[in-house]
Amino acid sequence: MSANFTLDGKSIPFSDGQTIMQAAQAVGVYIPHLCYHPEFKPHGSCKLCTVKVGGRQTASCTTLAQDGMEVESDTKALNDERRMLTQMLFVEGNHFCPSCEKSGDCTLQATAYQLGMMSTHFVPFFPSRPLDASHPDLLLDFNRCILCSLCVRASRDVDKKNVFALSGRGMNTHLIVNAKSGRLADTDLTLEDKAARICPVGVILRKDKGFAVPIGKRTYDLKPISAYVKADGTAAKD
């Protein structure tokens, strides 16, 4: 006997143990998200994937699917909240999309377009954040960090190196490099590491590959982020 739940009126099949997010992605249904990645245990920190189940809000990346469940996602109220959260991420960092080499390949930017974000709405913080160009192959631009912790989890769980960590609490939370000097050059991070390739924005950049793909021909220049939904959470650049 198959199990199904409804998502915005559409029947979604699922397997035992799958979350709402996993089941939706398996059938190509997009739910906005930033911190979720199929290779890591979800923790629901970005809140963009929030849906309504039985009238109550919950993170779709951590909530297990149940037979007969009725889920709302693509509603005006939820998308308004997601847009506001995205706007807050933009003003809390320094995101200058026209000059960023990740433009067109950036998950944050693509999500903003998907949600119809036309301005940041809030007054930008313009925080003072450093660059770290000490590593021979990689550049760190902390201005663009959205605290998704994907690099932290990748370095810890896949690379087994613990190169990155989040430090501080609340508004003071920030990404740090786990080295006595605080410099990326004083770690064993390499180009082959998962942590070096997983950043959804423009924080961790390869030094010799900038602007290799012309603007206008990049992933999300070609199709919106919702068109790339796959069960494995990757974007097929076809």
**If phi over 0 gives left and psi between -120 and 50 gives alpha, with beta otherwise, what is residue 160?**
left
Q: Helix crossing, 76-92 with 107-114: angle to 10°?
A: 140
Going by CATH, does the domain composed of 3-74 fall within 3.30.70.20? no
Q: For 14-30, how does the pLDDT look when each residue is reduced to its tens digit (9 = 90+)?
A: 999 999 999 999 999 99
232 pLDDT band, cuts 50/70/90, is low
Identify the pLDDT of residue 231: 52
**pTM: predicted TM-score of the whole model, two decimal places:** 0.92
Average model confidence (pLDDT) across the chain: 93
Residue type, 227: A
Evaluate if residue 235 carries a pLDDT over 50: no
Residue 151 backbone dihedrals phi, psi, to 5 degrees:
-70, -35
Bridge-based pairing of strands 164-167 and 138-141 is unpaired
Per-residue model confidence as pLDDT tens digits over 70-110: 999 999 999 999 999 999 999 999 999 998 999 999 999 99
Predicted confidence band at 238 (pLDDT cuts at 50, 70, 90)?
A: very low
The matching CATH number, chosen from 3.30.70.20, 3.40.50.850, 3.10.20.30, 3.30.360.10, for 82-224 is: 3.30.70.20
pLDDT of residue 215: 87
3-state secondary structure of 70: strand
Domain assignments of the chain as residue spans, ordered by start: 3-74, 82-224
